[in-house]
Amino acid sequence: MHPPPSPKPPSPGPPQQPAGDKPLPNVLLVLSDDQDQLYGSAEPRFMPAVNKWLGGGDGGGGTQLANFLVTTAVCCPARTSILTGKHAHCHNVTTNYYPSGGFVKFLETGVEQTWLPTRLQEAGYQNILVGKFLNGYYTSEAPAGYVPKGFNVFDALTTNAYNLTNSCFSKNGGRSTCYPADYQTDLIRDKAKIYISNAVRAKQPFFAYVTPTAPHRSSTNLVTWYPPTPAPRHHDLYADENVTLPLGPNWDVRNPAIPRKGNANNGPAFVANMNALHLARLRSLKAVDEMVDSLVLHLQDLGVLDNTIVIYMSDNGYHMGAFSLLDGKNLPIEEDIRVPFFIRGPGIPAGQVLPHQSTNVDVAPTLLALAGLPIPPDMDGLPMPLAERLIRPVYDALMVPPQQPQQPQQQPAAAAADGIWQLREASILEGWNGDGSDENTRYSAHFKTLRLCADALLLSDSAFGSAAARQVPVPAGGPPLACYKYTVWCQGNRELYDLAADPFELNNRINDASAGVIDRLDAVLSALVHCRGVACRNPYSLLHPGGGVRKFSQTLAPQYDAFYSGLIKLRIKTCSKFYIPANELTWTQQGAGSRSRVRGG
């Protein structure tokens, strides 16, 4: 049984005016599907328009976040996190398939009642979706006339979502219409331009969520999958340029900690197949790049570009042959969790590349902060560190639990640097067999990962170098930065990587780190496993509720050794595709929270 349908989308009320009586900014968010960051698909060579209008390099019109992550690297959980500002364990859409994920699971959770589109609509926005919504969205699976709460225009892909040459759309829950004569990305472009024009004519701010399925693999039946079909004009693109997949040091190197049902045969035939897939993905992205160019020029023609936030990103990354894996996603490896992220808009500096860690959970609170609208306390995300004058007051308030004073007392010897507001040090990555992988314990991709980017050296041979992680520059000013990754698998495997020294994750250092470092990494990860709201933004508020510790380097003080060694270690009892709190055992469930208030400080 389905929940009752959402009522007919209401007309937005008069636009609210944020602080300073400035007009509310428009938002254009373009979301690609399965696009990699680390194989170079978003580089200027392949996406010149994105880099020209939104990029952070020389001549770029916006800011690039080079260290941007998705917290659950599979479509439905990631897309739900973007619009809710919540981790998958908070919105509980954990996979692409019902009963643990997909569209019907999304309906059952009711998260649309209070997500970003609802809050923007209440402020006077006209909200538009054109393209892919969620896996499993078909009009036959939805209540009659269903439109997600908060959207005024909902023109969503239904059947044939991954057939780029014969896609079908349903507008506002109506009958599906297929377009065999139109290339999907071009059709989405044209639809979006019409809806944006209508919003501008109505003199309402708009939120346009534009979501092509490129460069996802194509299919006509959801059984047989093949490289994405490019637009006809791009069939021979790059034919004479010797475009091949970059084979990094982790190519054809098996990682025994990663569960897998089978290995890629990385011989000549497999290399040829991956090169062909990479080339097809780049060709399909050319139409996406052209779409971004066309949409930005359209905003310029309408006279609203200067008051429009434009974002380009992907729902998750993608691996192709890394660690002898067949192509796919859903893992905590850098290829899967790292995605392109570009943004431009009023008050956002141009030509800026930021190394600080941010995630897809941060998108919703960032947009609310940039619009001058309140951020709900139950959102897990933080505003991104785009410009201090825009973000810092909101960021500082969100980092402090309500019971703490606005300016937490710091330990004199470990005072936070002025730039601490920029650092989302600790991010949780989590997965529950989200791409349909085998739930058998041996092969299950159920894991919890802490990705930490901090001003701390955790191994005896660690050093601050020229990069904090793969393709992540070190900060130009302020404290140095090094990234680490600590993973606990449901099979019991544990991993630790120094991403500054080992960006391709080849050397598992779990047996090289001191017990004290492992104690602290595990404690911070455990604080995030069941976090909500402020605890997700600042896990140290659970470990050190007195406010004396706000970053990882401060936890390394010797007076905390006994406290951290006394906390139980994270353990996943049974491999599962569901988030079940009792199945993921942490110190936060064992009464250690009360102990931390005494001993954590």
Cα 309 to Cα 169: distance, rounded to the nearest angstrom = 26
Kindly provide the residue ranges of all beta strands, DSSP E only, lying in 1-108, ordered along the sequence. 26-32, 63-65, 68-69
Residues 6+ apart with CB under 8 A from 203: none
* Structure tokens, 142: 């939805």
DSSP structure string for 402-467: TTS-SS----GGGPPPGGGGG---EEEEEEESTT----STTT--EEEEEEEEES---STT----SE
* Structure tokens, 163: 């057939």
Report the residue count for the chain: 601
Nearest-Å Rg of the Cα atoms of the chain is: 23
Backbone angles phi and psi of 172, in degrees to 5: 50, 45
Residues 6+ apart with CB under 8 A from 238: 279, 282, 283
Cα 119 to Cα 114: distance, rounded to the nearest angstrom = 7
Cα 353 to Cα 158: distance, rounded to the nearest angstrom = 37
User: Which of the following is catalytic: 75, 453, 531, 536?
Assistant: 75
Cα 437 to Cα 432: distance, rounded to the nearest angstrom = 9
Which among 369, 367, 307 has a CA at the least distance from the CA of 26? Answer: 307
* Cβ(455)–Cβ(553) below 8 Å: yes
DSSP structure string for 250-298: TBT---TTS--SS----SHHHHHHHHHHHHHHHHHHHHHHHHHHHHHHH
Distance of CA 66 to the CA centre of its chain: 13
Query: Could you give the 3-state DSSP secondary structure of residue 11?
Result: coil
Which among 322, 318, 329, 317 has a CA at the least distance from the CA of 263? Answer: 322
Which among 341, 330, 360, 260 has a CA at the least distance from the CA of 64? Answer: 341
The answer to whether residue 75 is catalytic is yes
Which among 265, 5, 288, 6 has a CA at the least distance from the CA of 121? Answer: 6
Residues 6+ apart with CB under 8 A from 250: 322, 323, 504, 505, 506
* Cβ(64)–Cβ(56) below 8 Å: yes
Phi/psi region, residue 347 (left: phi>0; alpha: psi -120 to 50; beta: rest), is left
Kindly provide the residue ranges of all beta strands, DSSP E only, lying in 306-400, ordered along the sequence. 308-314, 341-344, 352-354, 358-359
Cβ density class 526-563: b for 16+ within 10 Å, e for less: bbbbbbebbbbbbbbbbbbbebbbbbbbbbbeeebeeb
* Cβ(257)–Cβ(510) below 8 Å: no
Cα 203 to Cα 76: distance, rounded to the nearest angstrom = 33
* Cβ(419)–Cβ(462) below 8 Å: no
Kindly provide the residue ranges of all beta strands, DSSP E only, lying in 8-105, ordered along the sequence. 26-32, 63-65, 68-69
Active-site residue set: 75
